[in-house]
Amino acid sequence: MDIKQNIYHFDNISQLLRYLGLPAPSHPLVTLVDYNTVSMNAIEKGMKISLDFYKISFKNKFSGQLKYGQGYYDFEEGGLAFLKPKQIVVASQNADSYEGYVLYFHPDFIRNYPLGNSINQFGFFSYSVSEALFLSATEKNIIGNLFSTIAHELGNNIDQFSQDVLVSQMELLLNYSNRFYNRQFITRKMISHEIIVSLDKLLEEYFKKEDGLKYGLPSVQYISTELNLSQRYLSDMLRSLTGQNTQQYIQNKVIEVSKDLLSATLLSVSEIAFKLGFEHPQSFSKLFKIKTDLTPLEYRHNFN
């Protein structure tokens, strides 16, 4: 374990389990831990931790309020949180959150399998912990059974088929998680709608204050930071509800504003381009043509 800038970094699973006071894993590259076996004093509250391996945390319940996007949400059934290697996570301040299980697996465990290449497609590994997947009772039962199956396989004697079986079970767990996250975007429309309203207001203020002249086009990083959301979560949520990722959503808002400027002002195309944040007027004209099938001047002429 290395300690750099007050961040506790663990290179491998055995190192972490040793720090937690737990027995060595039966397989050095994958293990399942019952949170009930971990002492509450093993990890200091507020401690910053970084891992060189993946972590999937299955909480039986969340007690109290959990931060979710712009606000907080009460949810009793439980949920899943995902971490990829090198992410920094802060240890929970709430002891109740340690009821459940956690699956650790090293990238080398899946490297020679299709999952090794496709795992980056599971965007929730790039979400922040505050963007956890909330589970209904039925979903919790499905996930709980998958964790039990993985635990059973890890409890068997290792043979030539063990890795194949475990990787397939892990992939099934991730596929179900993908399905449940998509459901969450849809069923929690009120929260998602509030985020979209905040996004629209943020973009409206950005163009109203003519920040494009100073800072250029609003970036995905800027938008996600202002909304206190991870870039991947925001993009996946928008794609699920609007069919557009964050970049496409921003571009469409840029076109909407440009239409207003073309129809209601005498500003030249170049002036409008710079006002919106484009470095070159040609880039604005190209995007406008792609989105509307018209050049800016053709749109102005047709409108007039």
Mean pLDDT of the 187-215 span: 85
Side chain identity at residue 90, one-letter code: V
Mean pLDDT of the 264-291 span: 94
pLDDT at 172 over 90: yes
- For 131-146, the pLDDT digits (tens) are 788 888 899 999 999 9
| Mean pLDDT, all residues of the chain | 86
How far is Cα 37 from Cα 22, in angstroms, rounded to an integer? 8
Q: Which fold has domain 190-303?
A: Arc Repressor Mutant, subunit A (1.10.10)
Q: Give the model's pLDDT for residue 302.
A: 85
pLDDT at 179 over 90: yes
Q: Nearest-CA neighbor of 192 among 71, 295, 18?
A: 71
pLDDT at 65 over 50: no
Task: Name beta bridge partners: 83.
Answer: 55
Confidence of residue 92 (pLDDT cuts 50, 70, 90): low
- For 208-242, the pLDDT digits (tens) are 999 988 999 999 999 999 999 999 999 999 988 88
For residue 268, what are the CA distances in angstroms to 4, 228, 292? 54, 36, 18
Dihedral through CA 178, CA 180, CA 171, CA 130, nearest 10?
A: 70
Q: Give the model's pLDDT for residue 64.
A: 45
Among 80-84, 89-93, 139-143, 200-204, the range scoring the smallest mean pLDDT is 89-93
What are the backbone angles phi and psi of residue 42, rounded to the nearest 5°? -65, -40
CB neighbours of 107 closer than 8 A, spacing ≥ 6? Answer: 53, 54, 85, 116
Pick the CATH number of 2-187 from 2.60.120, 1.10.8, 3.40.50, 2.40.50: 2.60.120
Confidence of residue 182 (pLDDT cuts 50, 70, 90): confident
Number of Cβ within 10 Å of residue 299's Cβ equals 20
Reported pTM: 0.73
pLDDT at 86 over 90: no
pLDDT at 255 over 90: yes
- For 21-63, the pLDDT digits (tens) are 899 998 999 999 988 887 766 677 777 888 999 999 998 765 5
pLDDT: which is higher, 302 or 164: 164
Among 21-35, 84-98, 162-176, 251-265, the range scoring the smallest mean pLDDT is 84-98
Domain range summary for the chain, segments of one domain joined by +: 2-187, 190-303
* 25-29, 93-97, 174-178, range with greatest mean pLDDT: 174-178
Beta strands in the chain (DSSP E): 2-4, 7-10, 30-34, 48-51, 54-59, 65-68, 71-74, 79-83, 88-90, 100-105, 133-134
